[in-house]
């Protein structure tokens, strides 16, 4: 019978190699027991990465949608706050103007005109609000301020109504200017409405409110008409100034429905964004669970193999120690 023997150097090499292999296996199994996830993904999945790649791709898309919905929620909330401020001021001032149109003295009318100037400036400031580096009501021109300040607007309107002799003439001149392409629209420095946003797979929303919206335009017209009284409009004609106050109140109250529709439209968009964000979160959770299940290992089996590998390593150490003590005298 042919005998095969292993020399001392070869034996030492084989035991060193076995030691490294067992230590590597011990480390892998220790990580798997600790994390519950396969350390070697390719080995665990037997090279079939299709399901895992699909899950990872879906999670990446949902991460993008989360960024969109978070930004859109903040943007629309800031818009809603600005619109609510403008509506509250316009509605309150409109009621005050209507109530004081027939009973107020000249001094009271002057005070209401000064209040209208303040409300106009506040409304313009709200419509020029920026969230970070983006204007809320400038449409696609998010880096610009869409509307001028109150001083610029009133100075422009003074030239519009110059020469008007009656309240009807003033009303018509302002109405025509606010509706004309080269009037209020020409003073607007923003862009067209924003494009649609994709907030979830197969779902889009559109935040298309700008400072040119008819509800906003009519509100500014009502505020500006009363504010022009503070610039000396129809000075020395108390009854005509009272009529301007009444007409301004009519415009502000009459545009209240349009403002309510605008805020309701924005509220519906906010609800859709919130609903999409919740669905995306639920889908993300489900995909993360599926991914964990795909990569998870059997805890009991892994712990058993860890114990077995540890025993093998200890046995190897014992053998190595015993062999290192062998000598020729013991052999003979």
Stated pTM of the model: 0.79
Neighbouring CB atoms inside 10 A of 315's CB total 11
Residues 6 or more apart whose CB falls under 8 angstroms from that of 31 comprise 39
Domains annotated on the chain, with CATH: 52-285 (1.20.1330.10)
Q: How far apart, in whole angstroms, are the C-alpha atoms of residue 288 and residue 284?
A: 6
| DSSP summary character for residue 144 | S
**139: alpha, beta or left, given left = phi > 0 and alpha = psi -120 to 50?**
left
- In tens digits, what is the pLDDT along the chain, a chain of 332 residues? 454 455 555 666 666 676 666 666 666 666 656 665 566 666 666 677 788 888 889 999 999 999 999 999 999 999 999 999 999 999 999 999 998 887 778 889 999 999 999 999 999 999 999 998 899 999 999 999 999 999 999 999 999 999 888 999 999 999 999 999 999 999 999 999 998 999 998 899 999 999 999 999 999 999 999 999 999 999 989 899 999 999 999 999 999 999 999 999 999 999 999 999 999 999 999 998 888 777 665 555 666 675 676 776 667 666 666 666 555 455 54
Q: How far apart, in whole angstroms, are the C-alpha atoms of residue 202 and residue 187?
A: 38
Neighbouring CB atoms inside 10 A of 107's CB total 8
Neighbouring CB atoms inside 10 A of 269's CB total 21
Q: Which secondary-structure segment (H or E) carries 266?
A: helix 256-295
Q: How far apart, in whole angstroms, are the C-alpha atoms of residue 176 and residue 164?
A: 13
Q: How far apart, in whole angstroms, are the C-alpha atoms of residue 231 and residue 275?
A: 49
């Amino acid at each position: 019978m042919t005998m095969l023997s292993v020399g001392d150097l070869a034996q030492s090499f084989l035991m060193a190699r076995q030691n490294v292999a067992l230590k590597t296996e011990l480390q892998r199994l220790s990580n798997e027991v600790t994390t519950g996830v396969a350390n070697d993904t390719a080995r665990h999945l037997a090279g079939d990465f299709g399901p895992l790649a699909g899950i990872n791709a879906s999670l990446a898309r949902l991460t993008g949608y989360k960024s969109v919905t978070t930004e859109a929620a903040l943007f629309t909330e800031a818009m809603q706050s600005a619109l609510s401020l403008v509506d509250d001021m316009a509605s309150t001032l409109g009621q005050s103007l209507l109530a004081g149109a027939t009973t107020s003295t000249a001094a009271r009318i002057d005070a209401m005109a000064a209040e209208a100037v303040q409300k106009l400036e506040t409304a313009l400031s709200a419509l020029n609000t920026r969230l970070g580096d983006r204007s809320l009501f400038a449409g696609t021109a998010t880096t610009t301020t869409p509307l001028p300040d109150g001083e610029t607007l009133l100075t422009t309107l003074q030239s519009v109504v110059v020469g008007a002799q009656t309240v009807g003439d003033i009303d018509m001149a302002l109405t025509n200017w606010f509706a004309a392409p080269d009037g209020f629209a020409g003073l607007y420095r923003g862009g067209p409405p924003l494009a649609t946003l994709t907030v979830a797979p197969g779902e889009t929303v559109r935040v298309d409110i700008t400072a040119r919206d008819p509800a906003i335009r009519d509100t500014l017209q009502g505020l500006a008409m009363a504010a022009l009284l503070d610039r000396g409009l129809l000075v020395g004609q108390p009854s005509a100034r009272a009529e301007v106050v009444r007409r301004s109140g009519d415009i502000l109250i009459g545009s209240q429905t349009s403002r309510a529709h605008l805020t309701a439209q924005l509220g519906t968009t906010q609800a859709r964004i919130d609903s999409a964000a919740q669905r995306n979160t639920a889908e993300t959770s489900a995909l993360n669970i599926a991914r964990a299940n795909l990569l998870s290992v059997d805890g009991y089996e892994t712990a058993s193999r860890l114990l077995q590998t540890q025993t093998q390593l200890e046995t190897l150490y014992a053998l190595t120690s015993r062999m290192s003590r062998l000598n020729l005298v013991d052999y003979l």
